[in-house]
Structure 1
Amino acid sequence: MGIKDIIKQILFLPFEFVQDNNHSIYSLLQNTGYFNVYSKITQSTILQELTNHSNCIEYWLSWSENKRSTDGWYFIKKDNDKYVVGNINSDGQNSKYFEFDSAAQACSIFIKREIESIRAN
């Protein structure tokens, strides 16, 4: 399986997670093959594939909104049509905060950081 195929599977992870009640997000990510090639998948390579599957942006916005953790990465759309990717640390404080005009750019950054945090745990 090629890098593009793995990225395509990653883009649909939030959708797959909702559909599959039997697997954790960790195991779904592992099943994509990402763990074997994670260093070859960058924010840029995710962005390239995301432009072909822009409907996945909504999946990742919903994923972020529905997370039930006190710390980690988040991805939101603000009222001014800007997109924010941030990180809340274990103290509940924003430790990183990035704002974007492009939903795809913000989403690709969020995806890479989110899947890396999943892989690391």
Structure 2
Amino acid sequence: MAVSLRITTYASLVALGAACVALPAFAATANIKALDPDNDGTVSLSEAQAAGAHKFAALDPDGDRTLDAKEAKSVLIDFSAADPDKDGTIDKAEYAAAIAAAFKAADPDADGTVDAAEFATPAGQKLLGLIQ
């Protein structure tokens, strides 16, 4: 009886571990669906830029078409790197450039798209922070 209970418990823990490993991939797949209007299962740079434009607008509550450090605090961004003119704000073009750089990092196979597996990487998570 004790051996059977141990085997059942072990099997349950193995199944739970497998589910935890699969969770980021599932979450990434769900994220892709929201960002993938052509439903090809991947996100292209243009799709990422479109999503990023919506994110930028949501992060800019004062509507001044720039993000200061406080407004950009919630996104995974290196503020100083995203502000090449060092004016203390990130405008739409600078935000788009940050998305392009994050996209390139999240697309190591350079096929021009980011898929669920690539979104599950740290670079993919950074990209998601900018566009979702």
Alignment TM-score, normalising by the size of structure 2: 0.33
| Normalised TM-score (structure 1) | 0.36
Q: Which structure has the larger Rg over C-alpha atoms? A: 2
Between 1 and 2, higher relative CO (CA 8 Å, sep ≥ 6) is seen in 2
Structure 1 or 2: more helix by fraction: 2
Higher strand share: 1
